[in-house]
Amino acid sequence: MESSWNNDISSFRDSLKEWNTNVFGDILKKKKKIIRRFQGITNTLDQGNNNFLEKLRGQIWKEYQDILTQEEILYYQKSRSKWLEFGNRNTKFFHGSTMIRRRKNKINLLHNDMDNPISDPNILESMTLNFFADFYKDNNLDFPFVLRGEFPILCDEDISIIGKNILHEEIKHAVFGMGGFKAPGRDNFQVIFFQSQWEKVKNDLCLLIGDIF
């Protein structure tokens, strides 16, 4: 089941990439293009009335609002914000939050064992690898595992609960209890995808989790 799920997710991800390139398109490019169209129509209307262009300008303005919403959501997802609401055109804030988080997470300098500052990327990479290699290496010390006291005895009811199959409602409760726009998992999908498409993915997802358990 896990192999089938991974194949389906991989195939779906490839389809999304193709759709994004050929159908949805680059949001920022679409925004610039539609602004140019809107300005061109406005300049023409300044020279005289034209019912067709008036109607077209209204349609383009609606498309522009949709693009602004898409842009806002895009940067909202990248910023991993969890408390602001949509609707106030918070794109600049979200974009700023994304840049700040990336700068915070970027390591530009470390101090070596001699307390000298190091900024060379190659040396930093080597220092990082050596640190974790030393940190996780086997020190060959063998500490015997000693039990103190006794394990509590489970009653029959507790034993039956542990052994029962996980319910679909329990899985749904866990999925919808997660932050929708938090960092994506290993499949690169944010939780909002599974929440918004629950009716489509619930059967396969519940089967997968049931097999794992």
Q: Indicate whether 52 and 91 sit together in one domain.
A: yes
Q: Indicate whether 91 and 113 sit together in one domain.
A: no
Are 60 and 41 spatial neighbours (Cβ–Cβ below 8 Å)? yes
Is 46 part of a structural domain of the chain? yes
Are 198 and 175 spatial neighbours (Cβ–Cβ below 8 Å)? yes
Q: Which two tokens stand for residue 105?
A: 């997470």
Question: If you count them, how many residues does the chain have?
Answer: 213
Q: What local confidence, expressed as pLDDT, does residue 84 receive?
A: 46
Q: Indicate whether 82 and 131 sit together in one domain.
A: no
Number of folded domains that form the chain: 3
pTM of the predicted structure, to 2 decimals: 0.45
Range of the domain at 114: 106-136
Which residue carries 């398109």 as its tokens?
A: 25
pLDDT in tens, 161-205: 887 888 999 999 999 998 887 766 777 788 888 999 999 999 999
- What integer is the mean pLDDT of 138-161? 76
Q: Read off the pLDDT band of 83 (50, 70, 90).
A: very low
Is 145 part of a structural domain of the chain? no
Is 16 part of a structural domain of the chain? no
* Lowest model confidence (mean pLDDT) among 76-80, 89-93, 162-166, 172-176: 89-93
Q: Indicate whether 92 and 122 sit together in one domain.
A: no
Q: Indicate whether 69 and 99 sit together in one domain.
A: yes
Instruction: Tell me if residue 194 falls in helix, strand or coil.
Output: helix
